């Protein structure tokens, strides 16, 4: 990349011409950027708005013409219905338990393992890390058949003979498969960014490895842990395909399944589906609005090593 | 401060790595290696419809999957028409979704990289579609594309662009277009985030220098931005392509592969074979093919861009 300045440019600079010419074009460019971004945001938020207003319409208004873009007679009845006529309380609890437990497992194991991969040169650590991260490449859907077989007919461990099919445990076990390799990778990269001299200082001060890790390094890694936790939670909360295959009743079905259940062959109960969809979408919207920077940092640390 | 340590502490310190790495490795082996081995094993088996027993059939599942049958036997060299059409559908779906969302995402990322007030607010607004459950997004788009009461027909009519309703999801070609639109809507935020992170690596002075040199906008992008952005582009494209090939959620809730087989892709076919038709052997064989294709795509992308997948 050439950085030399031509005599003409130097002349223009010294005359101050450049700044004079630059400002109007910069302002115009900014205005254009704002305009384009605003149009983009409006367009991509329109579907969310439309499903939201659908959730507030009585069923009669949902299926009447011409369609309305503002609810004529807004009501919360759809939300009441799905919790009284359908077990949305169960679905929500299942989603909460599955997503929270998966998140806890992934951040606990992901943090300690990520730390060791970041700090220690042990036998085969590079290829081990590569295979852990490579596990993310395996298309989960390819494993749908074996997971179904294993969960309906688990291998005998410690005398356990029951079936895990249609339990929350089956989902928790499965979801760690998506999220644990990711958690290890993000945390490893995060610890790489914390200077190793801090560990050494703590060790000189008499800390054991465990104390140095827990007392000194872990508190510094909080933003990384938050990023990992948020992503693991969202991924588990939103998962659909494995929940569809591994569960069959309200004792384990999660919100994404509950929403899909409003589709019955040819008839779709759109008003109630919209209400259920808004409930399922709530964590995503809230996390997006309040923890956007954690999601971005987690995603970029997991994907691009800086 | 004492430097001496009790024997227990010393022992625990020695065991630091095994204790922190061991459980994760065991866990991952149990939940990934074991199912993958089982997948390979299942792909060589076939459920006998009479006895309901699994029988070892060698490569028959793969032959039946890829090649056409002639007189009850798979004819090598003649491809199975459904395999060809579903592969074509997958290529169209992935090809268009990934390239459109990539170009759109690149454009938005470049806009968001500017020093604008309220940039954080825009970033928040832009990211949300990606964080919603894909099922809910798919159903939302199905509702938007609904022919009588859908918002898209409604809006187009109100604007006077069309007079009759367009049956988006019951026409094969339009259904594919609708799927691609939904997919672009969901995954463009991902491209934006990854590329924005990459744009932060471009040194500001280089832009200034290029500007002083009077470099055109295009040449500034190509000579300054692109070289720094390349690793991020690679990551964004790889993850996007892999995800699209295997993603079932959107396709399943929007079209279930229909009408006819016009939007059937590998993922929906796999699900249908394994679950709906209860043929675990064929489903597993397709899973193995999917696995191989995924690794082949990743390897070739890294070959093209000339980078190692992980700088571990």
The model's pLDDT over B44-82, given as tens digits with 9 standing for 90+, comes to 888 777 777 777 887 888 887 888 776 666 666 778 888
**pLDDT at residue A121, as a whole number:** 85
User: Chain A partners of B135 at a C-beta cutoff of 8 Å?
Assistant: 238, 240, 256-257, 259-260, 280
Please state the rounded mean pLDDT for residues A237-255: 91
**pLDDT at residue A20, as a whole number:** 47
Q: Which CATH number fits domain B97-306: 2.40.30.10, 3.30.465.10, 3.20.20.410, 1.10.3720.10?
A: 1.10.3720.10
* A207 touching chain B per CB within 8 A: no
pLDDT category at A52 given cuts 50, 70, 90 is: very high
pLDDT category at B265 given cuts 50, 70, 90 is: very high
Q: What residue spans of chain B are helical by DSSP H?
A: 7-14, 16-28, 34-42, 60-66, 81-113, 119-131, 134-144, 151-158, 172-199, 204-212, 217-220, 226-246, 249-254, 266-271, 280-305
Greater pLDDT, A216 or B280: A216
Please name which of A224, A203, A223, A225 lies closest in space to residue A213, comparing C-alpha atoms.
A203
Query: What is the complex's ipTM, to 2 decimals?
Result: 0.85
Q: Report domain extents, chain A.
A: 26-74, 87-268+281-301
Number of A to B CB contacts under 8 A, please give it.
309
d(CA A140, CA B135): 16
User: Chain A partners of B32 at a C-beta cutoff of 8 Å?
Assistant: 135, 138, 177
Task: Point out the least confidently predicted range of A127-141, A196-210, A228-242, B239-253.
Answer: A127-141
**pLDDT at residue B7, as a whole number:** 79
pLDDT of residue B161 exceeding 80: yes
Among B185, B249, B286, the residue with its CB nearest the CB of A241 is: B249
The model's pLDDT over A121-180, given as tens digits with 9 standing for 90+, comes to 887 888 888 888 777 777 787 787 788 888 888 766 655 667 888 889 999 988 998 789
Task: Point out the least confidently predicted range of B39-43, B110-114, B190-194, B276-280.
Answer: B276-280
Residues whose CB falls within 8 Å of the CB of residue A128, separated by 6 or more in sequence, listed in order: A117, B21, B25
Which range of B94-98, B153-157, B242-246 scores highest in mean pLDDT? It is B94-98
CATH of domain A87-268+281-301: 1.10.3720.10
pLDDT of residue B4 exceeding 60: no
Please state the rounded mean pLDDT for residues A53-77: 81
Which range of A6-10, A95-99, A153-157 scores highest in mean pLDDT? It is A95-99
The model's pLDDT over B190-229, given as tens digits with 9 standing for 90+, comes to 999 989 888 887 887 777 777 777 777 788 888 888 888 8
User: What is the nearest CA distance from B112 to chain A, expressed in angstroms?
Assistant: 8
Please name which of A268, A116, A249, A106 lies closest in space to residue A172, comparing C-alpha atoms.
A106
User: Chain A partners of B290 at a C-beta cutoff of 8 Å?
Assistant: 139, 141-142
Is the CB of A304 less than 8 angstroms away from the CB of B231?
yes
Is the CB of B185 less than 8 angstroms away from the CB of A44?
yes
User: What is the nearest CA distance from A35 to chain B, expressed in angstroms?
Assistant: 10
**pLDDT at residue A10, as a whole number:** 61
pLDDT of residue A3 exceeding 60: no
Return the residue in B11, B123, B126, B133 with the most chain A beta carbons within 10 A, the one to mutate for interface testing.
B133
Is the CB of A50 less than 8 angstroms away from the CB of B140?
yes
Is the CB of B190 less than 8 angstroms away from the CB of A299?
yes
Residue B54, SS3?
A: strand
d(CA B272, CA B256): 9
The CB-side HSE value for A220 (13 A sphere, CA atoms) comes to 15
């Amino acid at each position: 990349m050439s950085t030399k300045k031509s005599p003409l440019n130097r002349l223009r600079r010294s005359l101050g011409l450049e700044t004079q010419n630059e400002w109007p074009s910069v302002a115009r460019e900014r205005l254009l950027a704002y305009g384009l971004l605003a149009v983009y945001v409006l367009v991509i938020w329109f579907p969310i708005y439309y499903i939201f207003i659908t959730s507030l319409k009585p069923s009669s208004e949902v299926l009447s013409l011409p369609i309305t873009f503002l609810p004529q007679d807004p009501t919360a009845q759809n939300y009441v219905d799905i919790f009284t006529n359908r077990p949305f309380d169960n679905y929500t609890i299942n989603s909460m338990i599955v997503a929270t437990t998966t998140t806890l497992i992934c951040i606990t194991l992901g943090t300690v393992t990520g730390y060791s991969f970041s700090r220690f040169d042990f036998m085969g650590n590079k290829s081990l890390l590569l295979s852990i991260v490579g596990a993310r490449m395996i298309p989960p859907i390819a494993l749908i058949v074996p997971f179904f077989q294993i969960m309906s007919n688990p291998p005998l461990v410690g005398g356990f003979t029951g079936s895990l099919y249609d339990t929350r445990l089956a989902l928790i076990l499965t979801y760690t498969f998506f999220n644990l390799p990711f958690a290890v990778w993000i945390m490893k990269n995060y610890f790489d960014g914390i200077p190793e001299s801090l560990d050494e200082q703590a060790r000189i001060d008499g800390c054991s490895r465990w104390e140095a890790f827990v007392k000194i390094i872990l508190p510094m890694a909080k933003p990384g842990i938050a990023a990992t936790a948020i992503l693991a939670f969202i991924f588990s909360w939103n998962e659909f395909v494995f929940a569809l295959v591994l569960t069959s009743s309200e004792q384990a079905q999660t919100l994404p399944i509950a929403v899909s259940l409003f589709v019955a062959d040819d008839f779709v109960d759109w008003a109630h589906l919209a209400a259920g969809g808004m409930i399922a979408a709530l964590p995503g919207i809230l996390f997006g609005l309040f923890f956007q920077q954690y999601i971005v940092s987690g995603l970029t640390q997991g994907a691009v090593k800086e | 401060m004492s430097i001496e340590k009790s024997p227990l502490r010393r022992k625990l310190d020695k065991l630091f790595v095994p204790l922190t790495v061991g459980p994760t490795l065991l866990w991952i082996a149990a939940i990934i290696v074991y199912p993958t081995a089982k997948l390979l094993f299942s792909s060589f088996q076939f459920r006998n419809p009479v006895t309901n027993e699994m029988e070892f059939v060698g490569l028959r599942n793969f032959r039946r999957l890829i090649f056409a049958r002639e007189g009850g036997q798979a004819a090598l060299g003649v491809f199975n028409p459904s395999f060809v059409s579903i592969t074509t559908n997958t290529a169209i779906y992935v090809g268009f979704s990934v390239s459109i969302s990539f170009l759109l995402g690149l454009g938005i990322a470049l806009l968001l990289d500017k020093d604008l007030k309220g940039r954080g607010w825009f970033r928040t607004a832009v990211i949300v579609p990606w964080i919603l459950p894909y099922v809910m997004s798919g159903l939302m788009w199905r509702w938007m594309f609904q022919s009588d009461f859908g918002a898209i027909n409604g809006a187009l009519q109100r604007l006077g662009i069309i007079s009759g309703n367009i049956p988006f999801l019951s026409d094969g070609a339009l259904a594919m277009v609708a799927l691609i639109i939904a997919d672009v809507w969901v995954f463009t935020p991902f491209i934006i985030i990854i590329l924005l992170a990459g744009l932060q690596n471009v040194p500001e002075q280089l832009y200034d220098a290029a500007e002083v040199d009077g470099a055109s906008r295009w040449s500034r992008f190509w000579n300054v931005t692109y070289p720094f952005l390349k690793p991020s582009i690679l990551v964004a494209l790889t993850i996007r392509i892999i995800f699209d090939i295997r993603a079932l959620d959107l396709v399943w809730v929007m079209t279930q592969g229909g009408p006819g087989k016009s939007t059937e892709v590998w993922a929906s076919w796999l699900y249908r074979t394994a679950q709906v038709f209860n043929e675990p052997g064929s489903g597993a064989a397709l899973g193995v093919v999917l696995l191989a294709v995924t690794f082949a795509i990743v390897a070739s992308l890294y070959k093209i861009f000339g980078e190692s997948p992980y700088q571990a």
